[in-house]
Structure 1
């Protein structure tokens, strides 16, 4: 899956589903809390929307909170979910 498609999908989810004023273009360095102003509840909602939008399932084990640090770290995680047998952080 292409990274730019994932980043654009994340922007769409944040703007349309979470109703947050997202910039026209997200950068992988954008921080979810500090730059995009997503709180912990929004992050949980984002995880649900990611599963639906990208047709992936988050592992049942604990997910490293660092996955939700930046757009780039979240993109890396989504890419890994699409690769069978990939190690998830």
Structure 2
């Protein structure tokens, strides 16, 4: 799965499951809290959806606020978790 595919899937999860209306120009630099209007409760919900959608487990100790700075940082985090799952 490419970065773009992961990002598109994340956007779909946010819109469908969190009922967030995302701006048209979402990029990897889009800030999760400020630009996408995702709050801390929504982030917790998003983690559950990410685990289900990508078949990964997000260890609590790895949930660092830096992971949720931007969409790009979240995509990188998912890629890393998927890589550990495969390895």
TM-score w.r.t. structure 1 length?
0.87
**Greater helix fraction, Structure 1 or Structure 2:** 2
| Alignment partner, residue 51 of structure 2 | 51
Structure 1: gaps spanning 5 or more residues: none
Shift of 1:59: 1.7
| Alignment partner, residue 37 of structure 1 | 37
Whether contact under 8 Å (1:8, 1:26) holds in the other structure is no
| Alignment partner, residue 65 of structure 1 | 65
Superposed, 1:69-84 pairs within 5 Å as 69-84=69-84
Q: Displaced runs of 4+ in structure 1, greater than 6 A?
A: none
TM-score w.r.t. structure 2 length?
0.89
| Alignment partner, residue 2 of structure 1 | 2
* Range with greater deviation from structure 2 (18-27 or 52-61): 18-27
Paired residues, what number? 85
Shift of 1:39: 0.7
Structure 2: gaps spanning 5 or more residues: none
**Distance across 1 between alignment mates of 2:25 and 2:81:** 23
| Alignment partner, residue 17 of structure 1 | 17
